[in-house]
Amino acid sequence: MYVCLCHGVTDREIREAADSGVSSMRQLGKELGVGTQCGRCACSARQILRESRTPD
Ligand code: FES
């Protein structure tokens, strides 16, 4: 499912980014562009990021 339409980023890609160490929206924006254009995806992207983060 596409989360960020502006950059064509899926929830899966966000999870993969989280797995490889991306832990903030800032980093996610830098890596994938998520949330850097219209910002509409920020809310769901943040949630996916939070859910996929492995607790330490
Ligand atoms: Fe992600 Fe627009 S949908 S920046």
Nearest CA owner, ligand 1 atom 3: 4
- Judge if the beta carbon of residue 8 lies within 6 A of ligand 1: no
Digit-coded pLDDT (tens) for 14-49: 999 999 999 999 999 999 999 999 999 999 999 999
Domain parsing of the chain, residue ranges = 2-52
Q: Which amino acid is at 24?
A: S
The ipTM (two decimal places) reads 0.98
CATH class of 2-52: mainly alpha
**One-character DSSP codes across 1-56:** -EEETTTTEEHHHHHHHHHTT--SHHHHHHHH-TTSSS-TTHHHHHHHHHHHSPP-
Q: Which amino acid is at 11?
A: D
Q: How far is the CA of 19 from the centre of ligand 1 (A)?
A: 21
Hey, how many other C-beta atoms are within 10 angstroms of the C-beta on 1? 7
CA 25 – CA 16 distance, rounded (Å): 14
Res 24: pLDDT: 95
Q: Point out the ligand 1 atom lying closest to the alpha carbon of residue 45.
A: 1
- Judge if the beta carbon of residue 6 lies within 6 A of ligand 1: yes
